[in-house]
Amino acid sequence: MRAIRPGRRDGMKSRCATGNGVRRATATMLLAGVLAGAFVLTAQAQQLRTVTEGVYSAEQAARGDEVYQAQCVTCHGDPAEGSVGPPLAGDRFLPYWSARPLLDLVDKIHNTMPLQAQAPLSRQESIDLAAYILQAGGFPAGDAELTGAALAGIALPAVPTASIAGGDVPVAPAANLAQVMRAIAFPASNIVFNVQIKDPGADAPPPTGSRSFDYVEWGATVYPGWEAIDLAALAVAESAPLFLAPGRRCENGRPVPVDRADWREYTEAVVEAGRAAYRASQSRDVDAVIEVTDQLNDACANCHKVYRDVGAEGRGVGSDRCRQEP
């Protein structure tokens, strides 16, 4: 379901409000920039070292272990295989960090960890902790310590991920496609889109107990601010494969076209948009998330243009019903 996005902050317009002519002109200019930038990115990728080359020292990893035991082990387990929090090593850790610069991991630690702490870890503690994470993941130590200046030039390994279209969903779908989108994709996308008009880190969560107990009000105080954006982005990425569940029906009773290549392509685009929103949210940078909202909006809109009933917007007649022939 396509989320209805509010207008951007500071007079910026949502992409869905721009004209087709402007889109074509912009797309032409962007294509030229992308073609030129591709050579730069390729050259940069070739120059990156990898974490398999001994980019940290054993002494530094030992310091990181001390930080881990003091600040992280309760949530992430010992060893770092995950507990309340996600794993920091192994097959469930690397896919989200596949081929990304080590700088992203350190920024994530420094900007957001420990979760709900009064103050995040220092930059040096975050770098030392990254060294420990590499050690826990089996990557070898070297002679020199990992430094802040080196982070952008070191990449985590590229990890192939299984196609989301290839697996089977083990239970029969209970919801139709519209219900899945309204329950998960629509509200989660709107939480991400709302960053355009509200800085998640600017306001304190609403107080509880001001009136009779309300689960929604209470829930907003448990995972507020930037964590709410993190979770919404993950909800988009993790729930989109449900669109491919065999046997799911559309609101009008027609089968969801799970066997069509373009339907799988559109679904994968939603997954990637959710992952991109999650990566942007880790920066705790409002403008970075705003930039990703275009990708998320387009991932939804591109599918709707092909498969949604003509004229279907919001909850009007024919809304969220699959066309019989795209």
Q: Return d(Cα 126, Cα 282) in angstroms, integer.
A: 14
Handedness of CA 163, 165, 166, 169 (dihedral sign): positive
Q: 155, 173, 194: which is the final residue of a domain?
A: 155
9 — pLDDT class (breaks 50, 70, 90): very low
Q: Which residue has the higher pLDDT, 52 or 32?
A: 52
Is the N-terminal amide bond of 246 cis, ω within 30° of 0? no
* Same domain, yes or no: 185 and 115: no
The answer to whether residues 119 and 184 belong to one domain is: no
Q: Looking at the structure, do residues 120 and 207 belong to the same domain, yes or no?
A: no
Residue 319 token pair:
């809304």
The verdict on 208 and 149 lying in the same domain is no
Does the predicted TM-score (pTM) go above 0.85?
A: no
Q: Is residue 138 part of a domain?
A: yes
Q: What is each CA distance from 193 to 3, 177, 218, in whole angstroms?
A: 8, 22, 22
Same domain, 114 and 65: yes
Domain co-membership, 111 together with 177: no
Contact by Cβ (8 Å): 101, 152: yes
pLDDT band with cut points at 50, 70 and 90 for residue 11: very low
The pLDDT assigned to 12 comes to 36
Which of 120, 155, 190 corresponds to the end of one domain? 155
Strands, E, within 146-286: which ranges? 154-155
6 vs 212, more confident? 212
pLDDT band at residue 221 using 50, 70 and 90 as cut-offs = confident
User: What values do phi and psi take at 142, rounded to 5?
Assistant: -125, -160
* 148 and 180 both lie in a single domain: no
- The count of other CB atoms within 10 Å of the CB of residue 304 is 15
Q: Is residue 117, in this structure, part of any structural domain at all?
A: yes
CATH number of the domain within which 182 lies: 1.20.120
Q: What is the pLDDT of residue 23?
A: 33
Q: How confident is the model at residue 39 (pLDDT cuts 50, 70, 90)?
A: very low
Judge whether 266 and 302 are in contact, CB under 8 Å.
yes
Residue 213 in any domain: the answer is yes
Same domain, 179 and 122: no
Q: Does any domain span residue 94?
A: yes
Are both 112 and 182 inside the same structural domain?
A: no
**Cα–Cα distance, 107 to 127 (Å, whole number):** 9
Whether 159 and 95 have beta carbons less than 8 Å apart is answered as yes
How many whole angstroms from its chain centre is CA 113?
Answer: 17
Euclidean distance between CA atoms 265 and 278, whole angstroms? 20
pLDDT at 51 over 50: yes
HSE-up of residue 30 (Cα within 13 Å, Cβ side):
6
> What does DSSP say about strands 49-50 and 154-155: parallel, antiparallel, or unpaired?
parallel
pLDDT of residue 119: 82
Based on the fold, state whether residues 189 and 121 are members of the same structural domain: no
Spatial CB neighbours of 2, under 8 Å, sequence gap ≥ 6? 297, 300, 301, 304
Contact between 220 and 229 (Cβ < 8 Å): no
Bridge partners, residue 255, by sequence: 249
What is the pLDDT at residue 37?
Answer: 40
Note whether residue 43 is domain-resident. Answer: no
Residue 66 in this model has a pLDDT that exceeds 70: yes
pLDDT at 274 over 50: yes
Residue 226 lies in a domain: yes
For residues 225 and 133, what is the distance between their CA atoms, to the nearest angstrom? 27
Burial track 278-291 (b if 16+ CB lie within 10 A, e otherwise): bbbbbbbebebbbe
Q: Is the pLDDT confidence value at 83 over 70?
A: yes
| Residue 266 pLDDT class (50, 70, 90 cuts) | very high
**Residue 325 maps to a domain:** no
* Whether residues 180 and 71 fall in one domain: no
Digit-coded pLDDT (tens) for 118-150: 788 999 999 999 999 999 999 999 999 999 999
- What pLDDT band is residue 82 in, cutting at 50, 70 and 90? confident
Question: Which pLDDT score is estimated for 293?
Answer: 96
Residue 67's domain is classified under what CATH number? 1.10.760.10
In total, how many domains does the chain have?
2
For 11, the token pair is 């007079």
What pLDDT was estimated at residue 162?
Answer: 54
Share the mean pLDDT of the chain: 79
In the chain, how long is the greatest CA-to-CA distance? Answer: 67
The domain of 92 spans 49-155
pLDDT higher than 90, residue 47: no
Interval 213-228 mean pLDDT: 84
Whether the pLDDT of residue 232 is over 90: the answer is yes
- Of 138, 155, 172, which closes a domain? 155
Claim to verify: residue 139 and residue 227 sit in the same structural domain: no
Taking residue 157's Cβ as centre, other Cβ atoms within 10 Å add up to 14
The residues pairing with 113 across neighbouring beta strands, listed in sequence order, are none
**In-domain check, residue 29:** no
pLDDT band at 168 (very low <50, low <70, confident <90, very high): low
Q: What is the pLDDT of residue 315?
A: 41
Length of the chain: 326
